[in-house]
A and B are shown apart, each in its own frame.
Chain A
């Protein structure tokens, strides 16, 4: 086949229009089930387990590999679709059951599941893949650890179609953790054929050549430019995708991405800034879908190692002095869920995130501050990462303005993304910072585990509260219908409201702009494109 006509021939019979050099509206060309997606991120590996694989690359794991389980999908009030954490559904596993004592889960694999090369998916493939996630270390290992998987001996291939995980402690996080992007199942026979002594886990091979059985295969990958997915006609773990081909192009410039979607030259512009989302809401040709990001909060974190913030009243004064509505309007462009102005200091339910009972009241802030040793105010630098400057910069400026009125003199510090982690989260040495942690597993205790326990990564405030520690330790493995679960979570939220090691600003949204005729777009906790359910309206 002539190289040039490669794509054209793929368009079944060669559309006449495809002979034009600059075909307009290719995404919507008749009878052609092809989506063109633009994103700003750049895929740096096709292997999610590899060291250094970045976030945008997780979409490859989502679209190209299968996991044992997945999550259900719900339709929201506005008609958009979002994953439903409470419903774990089969993907590669046909069914599963927990042992009586909760210390193991046994999965039956689909009898008809095959990899792309036609070989059967076996329990040994699952075991090998999970062991690989632990062996390669880094992020996959810590994410597996969140589900209680820390030792390869916990993974047992009982027979060809039966796989069991043994748990040291029963935990409600174990099953859902097998539905996150890192828990992929790899074709172990194919991978092992390409492994070497120096590279026993075939990292060099899988980095460029996925070996799975998922809904899409990678047709081509031009690093820094594009990835092209072609659908797997033999996929059995779900309905075969409607899209024959999905092209994801990397376009760094926001303005260019916006022009492309507005002109109708691409099908979907994934993860657009709030400003564009707001502007495009009224556009006739473009549909904007925004979903609140589950278990994610944009917060202001006062660091408890910074002298004035040791006093709880100073932290509360901050919370009373923030210009919440302005922040929401000007930094979030009104998109998101407000998390201020709640009714009561004792939470009524365990919904999370939920509004804290603070609102803008400068007199109250001044009064609180006057009770402390810092009645005259103090100087403090406020830091944010350039990675989230789109909302961090306006938010920081507004906070600076507002705190000046209660005598707190704020200077702004922008920190490059590469340094942010080390300074803010690992060394935890910023006195006052903006933070945006969101947990993949959608339960409040999971959020509290990462953000409120001493030493844990996202607790950038150095918060340390033995009661919180005890509560989280007890609640984390507990099933959500356990009698103690709701009271424990309510207590955690009450402590968080009173102690304010993190001051919630708003819950952010993930927005995407898409062609009017695109249907099936789903929001997922991993915040990546799931191309499998995309389809054009008839």
Chain B
């Protein structure tokens, strides 16, 4: 019961946040320098043709009128039409968000699989070989800009060795995308029982995901290490050891479970900046994701697309925070009791 009310409370709290995001994104896009009408009128436009375009885009109306119209559209689920891609923003986001999420999730998975064991090992033997090696890897990963790591991996594994497929987006030109259910090619191709496309999609994903994973590994590994060291030095571990519990049980049941809390918090943060770091990786690997979409929209003063992007991100983060809160209550029984 308490858990449900906790979740309901969190959702209620997020509503004003979302409305605030809507207002701010609307105002900020209007404050952008640049005139979309002039931009899209083309190279030899006349003042009249620019005015015609301004009218057809509805930009000749007053700001409050534009805002009301925007709210009305939002209420019906219409995010407007992107002028730079020519598609409805909703369909743009629906095709591009899964591409970014699939990449980010896979990157985080790789990152977790490497960083958590590395962090644990490093904590059990501080300053040992594993600790030093981890420190080197994560420092390199986080200090190299992602586009550089991406280009470096491309150079080695695609250009020199020829192991990776052509960096031409989500699928090689030989394949067609699987029927869209989740928008994640890996999941959709498995659902369709199409292992060849699954393999092809995975091959395209490998390099960008590793690039992003290298970038996100550092905070997770460092946080795991620090939390584990703190946990291992604590009194309940000493007690557990004194009680003669096996090393494995002490490490994984008592220490790790307590150490996971800060790691989960970090994970939420890492996820958000991984989505941001996506932009550069997307550009390098021609990945049709949401980051490059947002940047291109911003450059061309594409109001509807920018607003749609900001709103989606806001919803995504509200959901993410909610999930992390719920995860907390599962990991840490104290929270549920207190509330």
Q: Do A138 and B53 form a contact, CB below 8 Å, given A45-B86, A223-B85, A249-B286? A: yes
A247 touching B173, Cβ below 8 Å: yes
Q: Of B115-123, B151-159, B253-261, B310-318, which stretch is located at the interface?
A: B151-159
C-alpha gap A45/B39 in the complex (Å): 15
Give Cα A26 to B166, complex, Å. Answer: 11
Residues in chain A near residue B47, CB distance under 8 A: 426
Q: Is A30 an interface residue (CB 8 A)?
A: no
Partner of A51, one of B46, B53, B162, B300: B53
Per-position 1/0 for B270-308, Cβ under 8 A of A: 000000000000111110100011001001110000000
B31 cross-chain contacts in A, Cβ below 8 A: none
> CB-CB < 8 A to A223: which residues of B?
85-87, 92
Among A4, A42, A53, A419, chain B packs the most CB atoms within 10 A around the CB of A4
B34, A418: Cβ atoms under 8 Å?
A: yes
Taking CB atoms and an 8 Å cut-off, the chain A residues in 110-168 that contact chain B are: 137-139, 141-143, 146
Task: Evaluate contact between B169 and A225: CB separation under 8 angstroms.
Answer: yes
Q: Which of B52, B200, B282 contacts A137 (CB 8 A)?
A: B52
Judge whether B44 and A139 touch: CB under 8 Å: yes
Question: What distance in Å separates the Cβ of A2 from its nearest Cβ neighbour in chain B?
Answer: 9
Select from chain A the residue with minimum beta-carbon distance to B33.
A419
Chain A 399-433, CB-CB to B under 8 Å as 1, else 0, gives 00000000000000000111101100010000000
B166 CB contact (under 8 Å) in A6, A52, A224, A265: A265
Residue A305 at the B interface, CB < 8 A? no
Structural contact, A256 and B33, CB atoms closer than 8 A: no
Inter-chain contact A6/B45, CB cutoff 8 Å: no
Contact in complex: B167, A256 (CB < 8 Å): yes
Contacts known (A7-B176, A138-B41); A256 close to B53, Cβ less than 8 A: no
Distance (Å) between the CB of B188 and the closest chain A CB? 11
CA distance A3 to B284 in the complex (A): 28
Q: Which of B41, B53, B292 has the most C-beta atoms of chain A within 10 angstroms of its own C-beta?
A: B41
Closest to A250 in B: B286
Q: Is the Cβ of A52 less than 8 Å from the Cβ of B38?
A: no
Within 8 A of B (CB), among A207-254: 207, 222-226, 247, 249-253
Q: How far is the CB of A247 from chain B (nearest CB, A)?
A: 6
Q: Are A18 and B286 in contact (CB under 8 A)?
A: no
A36 near B173 with CB under 8 A, answer yes
**Which single member of B83, B162, B203, B286 contacts A252 (CB below 8 Å)?**
B286
> Which interface class (under 10, 10 to 19, 20 to 34, 35 or more) fits B?
35 or more
User: Would you call B43 an interface residue if the criterion is a C-beta within 8 Å of the partner chain's C-beta atoms?
Assistant: yes
Contact of A260 among B85, B87, B166, B288 (CB under 8 A): B166
In the bound complex, residues from chain A placing their C-beta under 8 Å from that of B52 are: 51, 137-138
Query: Which residues of chain A are near B170, meaning CB under 8 Å?
Result: 225
Inter-chain contact B38/A249, CB cutoff 8 Å: no
A228 to chain B, nearest CB (A): 9
A172 at interface, CB cutoff 8 A: no
Partner of A52, one of B33, B53, B194, B199: B53
**Which residues does chain A contribute within 8 Å of B151, judged by CB atoms?**
253, 255-256
A142 to B44, CA, bound (A): 7
Chain A positions within 8 Å of B56 at CB level: 51, 137
Check B84 for interface membership: any CB of A closer than 8 A.
Answer: yes
Residues of chain B contacted by A224 (CB below 8 angstroms): 85, 92, 95-96, 288, 293
The answer to whether A52 and B40 touch across the interface, beta carbons within 8 angstroms, is: yes
Expressed in whole angstroms, the Cα–Cα distance for A476 and B86 within the complex equals 36
A189 contacts the other chain (CB 8 A): no
Q: In the complex, what's the smallest C-beta–C-beta distance from A296 to chain B, in angstroms? A: 12
For the complex formed, measure the closest distance between the CB of A411 and the CB atoms of chain B, giving whole angstroms: 19
Does A303 sit at the interface, judged by CB under 8 A? no
Number of chain A residues close to chain B: CB under 8 A: 58
User: Smallest Cβ distance from B166 to chain A, in angstroms?
Assistant: 4
Q: A79 interface residue, CB < 8 Å from B? A: no
Which of chain B's residues have a CB closer than 8 A to the CB of A457?
43-46
Asked whether A8 is an interface residue with its Cβ less than 8 Å from the other chain, the reply is yes
Q: Are A42 and B87 in contact (CB under 8 A)?
A: no
A250 CA / B158 CA spacing, docked (Å): 18
Q: How many angstroms between the C-alpha atoms of A453 and B83 in the bound complex?
A: 31
User: Which parts of B5-49 form the interface with A (CB within 8 Å)?
Assistant: 32-36, 38-49
Q: Which single member of B40, B86, B196, B284 contacts A4 (CB below 8 Å)? A: B196
A450 contacts which chain B residues (CB < 8 A)?
Answer: 44
B203 → A minimal CB distance (Å): 6
Closest CB in chain A relative to B207 CB, distance in Å: 11
Q: Chain A residues near B48 (CB, 8 Å)?
A: 137
- CA A259 – CA B166 in complex, angstroms? 9
Contact A260–B172 (Cβ < 8 Å) = no
Bitwise interface map of A from 254 to 285 toward B, beta carbon under 8 Å scored 1, else 0: 01100110110110000000000000000000
Q: How far is the CA of A383 from the CA of B36 in the complex (A)?
A: 20
- B199 A21 Cβ-Cβ under 8 A: yes
Contacts of A253 in B (CB 8 A): 147, 151, 283-286
Q: Is B36 touching A251 in the complex (CB atoms < 8 A)?
A: no
**A24 CB–B CB distance under 8 Å:** yes
Interface string of A455-468 (1 = CB under 8 A from B): 00100000000000
23 cross-chain CB contacts under 8 A? A4-B194, A4-B197, A7-B174, A21-B203, A51-B40, A52-B40, A52-B86, A207-B86, A223-B85, A226-B169, A249-B168, A252-B286, A253-B284, A255-B151, A256-B285, A259-B154, A260-B168, A265-B168, A416-B34, A418-B32, A419-B35, A457-B45, A457-B46
Known: A249-B173, A417-B300, A419-B33. 18 other contacts (CB 8 A): A4-B175, A6-B176, A22-B172, A22-B203, A38-B168, A55-B43, A138-B49, A222-B288, A225-B286, A249-B168, A251-B169, A253-B151, A263-B162, A418-B301, A419-B34, A419-B35, A426-B38, A457-B43
Question: Hey, which bits of chain B sit against chain A, CB under 8 A?
Answer: 32-36, 38-50, 52-53, 56-57, 83-87, 92, 95-96, 147, 151, 154-155, 158-159, 162, 165-170, 172-176, 178-179, 194, 196-197, 199-200, 203, 282-286, 288, 292-293, 296, 299-301
List the 5 closest pairs (A to B, CB-CB), nearest first: A139-B42, A418-B34, A52-B40, A44-B86, A137-B52
